[in-house]
Amino acid sequence: MTTVAPTNTPPRPAARPLAGRILPLIGVVLLGVSLRHAVTGISPLLAAVNADLALGTAGSTVLGMLPTIAFGIAGFITPTIIRRVGLAQVAVLAMALGALGTVVRVFADGPVVFLVFGAIALFGMGMGNVAGPPLVKRYFPDRQGTMMSVLVLMMQGGATIPAMLAVPVANVAGWRVAVGAWALLMIFAAMPWLATIVNDRGDHAEQAITAHPAPTSFGISKLIRNPVSIGAALFYGMAALNTYAMLAWMPTIFASLGMSRGQAATMYGIYTFLTLPMALISPIIADKLKNPFPFGALLSVVAAIGYMGIIFAPLSTAALWTFVAGIGGGAFPFAMTMFNRRTRTTQGSAAVTGFGMGCGYAFGTVGPLLGGLLSSLTGGWSVPLIVFSLTSIPMVIGAILLTRNWTFEDLGTVPAQKV
């Protein structure tokens, strides 16, 4: 007998003062700013690292692939760890692993130790990626849009600041200090969550904040057949595939079209800059809209529109089309907000977030490889950009599933629903 899925989402909690939630607020800020330094703080120093550790081409390639691989593995594993040890506890563990890997890797005298402990640091950061949305859902259920904006903005800041400071600090103190000093930030980021764990044990905050009990686990069989988690994987995955491909190849694409090195760098700067304003507005829009699908659909197609403009419009209009494509950077914070809106519980949020990010970073790893392969086979970038444009189709499907007025915990599997 088929069943009809519930089509109502949980009522929104009434707003309440932030007093009493200062520790989680500080924790969200410090967590967000701690989750990207091992990615962006290394690239400007790669020549110095290579000179000291002899990474070589193979080691440098592995280093470039580690973030998406580590984040993807963490996405699949972290929900289970959250279920077993607790949400705030995972935030502490994430920061501890990140700090450990960050410190040990800078004492390496060869590429193997550097890469292994770099992977440990990145895995810790990947755990923090997954823990972020459920932490917002648990401690700020009345301010989810605002706090998701804070979290994502801090993540963007945590990506930008290490990249800006890497070379100046290395010039003064060496690359090992420039890389390793960020472990101190991660240690500080763990402190509010340690204090929160103590407070939670004292006042049973989990029962007070979480209105709906959840099953102890959400297995892979549910995740691969549930419309919400499928939508999360499709939407986040296609966004990651496109974004990481463009981060790897956009300057090369514009150089192949006849731009100078400086002009190509300007286009790249436009594309990456847009992540900041989109990080600010996307969670708020997603949280406020009664029907967020139109916004999700817009974020799904803007990259394709931008790519078509880059291919077919005059080169003099490239900045416009790059700007349009860059708006798609809002897909990540939009998705993270929907992970919370389409779940009733912190356990559900962790499961959907982990599955969406795990699949997403797997696609993110494929994106640069696919772009490079297609370019080599065709001798240009038109075919790769057309192929990337076509990914807007599964992304729109993902947006439909992720934004419908239903919740992950209430749904069965796809065949059991009258969709």
**Angle separating helix axes 22-33 and 144-173, nearest 10 degrees:** 50
| 211: number of Cβ within 10 Å | 12
Q: Look at residues 332, 395, 367, 274 and name the one whose alpha carbon lies nearest to residue 129.
A: 332
Token duo for residue 376: 């080599």
How many beta carbons lie within 10 A of that of residue 291, not counting itself?
A: 10
Q: What is the pTM of this model?
A: 0.87
Residue 138: CB partners within 8 Å, gap ≥ 6?
Answer: 87, 206, 209, 210, 346
Output the tens digit of pLDDT for each of the chain's 419 residues. Answer: 334 444 555 566 655 666 678 999 999 999 999 999 998 888 888 889 988 998 888 888 888 889 999 999 999 999 999 999 999 999 999 999 999 999 999 999 999 999 999 999 999 999 999 999 999 999 998 888 889 999 999 998 888 889 889 989 999 999 999 999 999 999 999 999 999 999 887 655 444 444 444 445 677 888 899 999 999 999 999 999 999 999 889 999 999 999 998 899 899 889 988 888 998 899 999 989 999 999 999 999 999 999 999 999 999 999 999 999 999 999 999 999 999 999 999 999 999 999 999 999 999 999 999 999 999 999 999 999 999 999 999 999 999 999 999 999 888 644 433 33
Residues 285 and 146 in one domain: no
Same domain? For 240 and 184 the reply is: no
Residues 13-46 as b/e (b if ≥16 CB within 10 A, e otherwise) read eeeeeeeebebbbbbbbbbbbbbbbbbbbbebbe
226 and 160 in a single domain? The answer is no
Query: Within 13 Å, how many C-alpha atoms sit on residue 96's CB side?
Result: 9
Residue 161 lies in a domain: yes
Closest by CA position to 127, among listed 63, 61, 59, 76: 76
Please count the other Cβ atoms lying within 10 Å of the Cβ belonging to residue 1: 3
Q: Which of 412, 1, 9, 8 is nearest to 223 (CA)?
A: 412
392-403 vs 331-341: helix crossing angle, rounded to 10: 30
Q: Are residues 248 and 344 in the same domain?
A: yes
Give the domain-ending residue among 151, 183, 206.
Answer: 206
Q: Indicate if 95 and 185 belong to the same structural domain.
A: yes
What CATH number should be reported for the domain holding residue 284? 1.20.1250.20
Do 62 and 180 lie in one domain? The reply is yes
Asked if 201 and 251 sit in the same domain, the reply is no
Domain for residue 259, yes or no? yes
Are 233 and 357 in the same domain? yes
Q: Which of 95, 66, 271, 48 is nearest to 193 (CA)?
A: 95
The whole-number pLDDT of residue 25 equals 95
Using only the alpha carbons of the chain, give its radius of gyration: 21
Residues in the chain: 419
Based on the fold, state whether residues 384 and 246 are members of the same structural domain. yes
Is 241 a member of any domain? Answer: yes
Helix 346-378 and helix 227-256: axis angle, to 10°?
30
Number of structural domains in the chain? 2
Pair 317, 193 in one domain:
no
User: Does some domain include residue 164?
Assistant: yes
Residues 63 and 55: beta-carbon distance below 8 Å: yes
Clarify whether residues 139 and 35 are in a common domain: yes
For 86, the 3-state DSSP assignment is coil
Residue 407: give the domain boundaries: 220-416
Q: Is residue 11 part of a domain?
A: no
Does residue 227 sit within a domain? yes
The Cα–Cα gap between 350 and 366 comes to 24
